[in-house]
Homo-oligomer: A and B are copies of this chain.
Amino acid sequence: MSETELLSKITARAKRAGLAQGGGVVTGIGDDCAIFRQKGSSRDLVFTADMMHEGVHFTWDEAPEDVGWKALARSLSDCAAMGAKPLFALVSLAAPADAASWIDGFYDGFFKLARKHGVVLAGGDLSATQRISCDVTVCGEVPRGKAMLRSSARTGERVCVSGALGKAALSLDTRGRFLPTPRVELGLALRASGVRCAMDLSDGLSMDLARLCAASDCGALIDDVPIAKGASLRHALHGGEDYELLFTLPAKAKLPRGSVVIGTVTKSAVLFRGELLKPEGWDHFR
């Protein structure tokens, strides 16, 4: 079973139980964040959770500062994809009982990034385990009904990315260091400029574009992609963890500096230079 299939199954179960929406949750499973609307509020709240596991997302010999930075960056990137301003985080951290200095380093990296965006550390959980893992939940806010969604792409809009792709995949291949920069300010600017559809690139363009097209019931014609220096076309098309934004630009909206048009939203099929672009990005469960 693939991650996508597993997620569909869980979503179907939540629907059958009548627990996929309601209680203020207006958008549930299936986008970068869930959206919650409190009665009488002019702002929606968005929520996302992202785990990292030693041996899967990082290794013991990686700098703990980098792990702490990335742990928060992943969730902030989801917030950015909704056009939301991040407010606070809950951090659940499991580590060996004797890993005090590693934990210190983790929070060095976490707070370094948290300070940039004024993200409050509101709570979380601690466990002593043999292998390190963490889960970071972030809450952000966005004007009511204005969150950018994966499902809002419209035929004819231009498909864009916020920067060159393949940096993270290249760093994996070369055992180099890559710290993603969550595009929080860009997300806010895109939303303010009228962009309605965005998501973040966590599992590779081919995989994530397929998800966007499925959610919006559309296709895409991709002409070219900006490739990071030293990276290959394969890195750029299928490599995960770049955390750039993928978004569709309405005719009236202006392309932000640094962003690149890579194609057009069509009615169906995802094509790259005329050929079907198969989703070959990262799937945890394949």
Contacts and interface: CB of A to CB of B under 8 A. Distances in A.
Most chain B beta-carbon contacts within 10 A, residue among A6, A23, A25: A23
B10 A121 contact: yes
Interface string A216-230: 000000000000000
A273 interface: no
Interface size class of A (residues with CB under 8 A): 35 or more
Interface string A81-105: 0000001101010100100100100
A154 B239 CA distance: 58
Contacts of A195: none
A49 B135 contact: yes
Contact of A45 (B17, B38, B97, B284): B38
Interface stretch (A26-34, A159-167, A182-190, A240-248): A26-34
A39 B141 CA distance: 11
A111 interface: yes
A236 to B, nearest CB: 24
Q: Is chain A's interface secondary structure helix, strand, loop, or mixed overall?
A: mixed
Contacts of A25: 87-88, 120, 122
A267 interface: no
Interface stretch (A59-67, A125-133, A145-153, A251-259): A125-133
Contacts of A141: 38
B90 A49 contact: yes
A272 interface: no
A175 interface: no
28 contacts: A13-B111, A14-B121, A17-B114, A17-B115, A19-B114, A19-B119, A20-B121, A28-B123, A29-B122, A33-B123, A38-B38, A38-B43, A38-B45, A39-B41, A39-B42, A40-B40, A47-B122, A47-B139, A49-B125, A50-B92, A55-B129, A90-B137, A92-B135, A126-B284, A127-B284, A128-B284, A131-B131, A133-B133
Given A10-B107, A47-B122, 11 more contacts: A18-B115, A20-B120, A24-B88, A29-B121, A29-B123, A39-B41, A47-B123, A49-B125, A49-B137, A53-B129, A56-B129
